């Protein structure tokens, strides 16, 4: 089973190639964009050389589910995921695009990663151990790794260009970047989105430890864009066996992050130990694929 590393749609103009998504302009629909979720995968802002078969389809299916489920809170950028409803110049690539493509509204992207944390883990835990803060926000003594915050914490980061690292920043700095009014609106909406999603996930036996949202503006209206609550943008833990004080098993990229770390990855080695990039073993590809499929199946079936 081959992974789709790069989409190939020569009749459309490729506008950008992100860590996962290829974004195209549609000639006959100038106010819309075509998002194509490839099977590329990244960790620590490094794109691995090989991909995860079906990953793009899993991300698309989950994003569409969450966009629909959360639409009562905020509108999103989705126009359609049905190839037959897309412009004619797109339809001829149906075999390649089926299940991994969304036609979306073109939006002005807000340059902020809107991270909501329900549990202390990852970079938040690393910062807390050093300074007793999370994104510069003081936290009480005595937190354990993976412990639940009393209330979900909105912790923004910068939205880095391809190849650069997102940077965790304080709420004050985030507000200075995008304006206090927009910051307040995004932080309130992001926490509500997370809380609603976490409540649903709990009914399926899953914990959403944290997640990242992205927002855009269309004619002044704030909307949800990019993806929503996928294993790429969220940490999913099983409720069964959850115990604070240690790392948790997960249905997300943590498995890949742990493997990279075990292989000697560190800042400065983004190009791989030999400068040729990082390639996952077959075992890591399969293990990651199984975790993504499990998250989808638990949430949707």
pLDDT digits (tens, 9 = 90+) for 267-278: 889 999 889 999
In this predicted model, which residue has the larger pLDDT, 160 or 16? Answer: 16
Q: Residue 166 — pLDDT band, cuts 50, 70, 90?
A: confident
> CA triplet 79, 40, 205: central angle to 5 degrees?
75
Residue 163: pLDDT over 60: no
Rounded average pLDDT over 30-49 = 95
- State the pairing for strand pair 78-80/101-105: antiparallel
pLDDT band of residue 258 (cuts 50, 70, 90) is very high
- Taking the C-alpha atoms of residue 121 and residue 128, their distance in angstroms, rounded to an integer, is 9
CB burial of residue 258 (10 Å; 0-12, 13-18, 19+): middle
Report H helices in 13-119. Answer: 55-69, 88-91, 94-97
pTM for this entry: 0.95
Q: Is the pLDDT of residue 228 over 80?
A: yes
CA pair distance 251, 205, nearest whole angstrom = 12
Which residues on adjacent β-strands are paired with residue 24?
14, 34
Q: Which token pair is 101? A: 């493509």
pLDDT band at 165; cut points 50, 70, 90: low
The reported pLDDT for the residue numbered 301 is 86
CA separation (Å) from 125 to 22, 29, 43, 142, 147?
A: 32, 45, 18, 12, 10
Q: Are strands 221-225 and 206-218 parallel, antiparallel or unpaired?
A: antiparallel
pLDDT of residue 237: 98
CB 32 within 8 A of CB 104: yes
**Alpha helix (H) residue ranges in 101-245:** 122-131, 171-178, 180-203
Please state the rounded mean pLDDT for residues 142-160: 95
Asked if residue 196 has pLDDT above 60, the reply is: yes
Mean pLDDT of 130-142: 96
Q: pLDDT value at position 267?
A: 85
Residue 73: C-alpha distances to residues 209, 224, 249 (Å): 20, 10, 30
Q: What is the mean pLDDT of residues 91-109?
A: 97
Q: Is the dihedral of CA 55, 71, 111, 183 positive or negative?
A: negative
pLDDT confidence band for 164 (50 / 70 / 90):
low
- Of the chain, the percentage scoring pLDDT greater than 70 comes to 98
Are 172 and 179 a contacting pair, CB within 8 Å?
no
pLDDT above 90 as % of the chain: 92
């Amino acid at each position: 089973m081959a992974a789709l590393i790069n989409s190939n749609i020569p009749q459309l103009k490729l506008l950008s190639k992100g860590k996962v998504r290829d974004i195209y302009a549609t000639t006959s629909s100038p106010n819309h964009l075509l998002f194509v979720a490839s099977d590329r995968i990244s960790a620590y802002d490094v794109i691995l050389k090989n991909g995860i078969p079906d990953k793009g389809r899993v991300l698309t299916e989950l994003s569409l589910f969450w966009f629909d489920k959360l639409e009562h809170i905020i509108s999103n950028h989705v126009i359609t995921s049905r190839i037959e409803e897309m412009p004619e110049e797109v339809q001829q690539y149906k075999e390649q695009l089926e299940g991994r493509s969304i036609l979306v509204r073109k939006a002005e992207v807000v340059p902020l990663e809107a991270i909501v944390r329900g549990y202390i883990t990852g970079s938040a835990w690393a910062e807390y151990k050093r300074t007793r803060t999370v994104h510069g926000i003081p936290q009480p003594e005595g937190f354990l790794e993976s412990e639940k915050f009393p209330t979900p914490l909105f912790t923004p980061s910068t939205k880095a260009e391809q190849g650069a690292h997102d940077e965790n920043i304080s709420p004050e700095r985030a507000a200075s970047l995008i304006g206090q009014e927009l910051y307040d609106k995004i932080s309130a909406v992001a926490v509500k989105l997370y809380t609603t999603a976490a409540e649903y996930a709990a009914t399926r036996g899953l914990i959403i430890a944290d997640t990242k949202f992205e927002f855009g503006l269309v004619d002044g209206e704030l909307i949800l864009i990019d993806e929503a609550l996928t294993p790429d943008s969220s940490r999913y833990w099983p409720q069964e066996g959850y115990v604070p004080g240690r790392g948790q098993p997960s249905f997300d990229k943590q498995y890949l992050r742990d493997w990279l770390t075990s292989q000697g990855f560190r800042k400065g080695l983004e190009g791989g130990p030999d400068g040729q990039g990082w390639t996952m073993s077959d075992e890591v590809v399969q293990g990651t694929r199984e975790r993504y499929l499990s998250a989808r199946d638990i949430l949707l079936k």
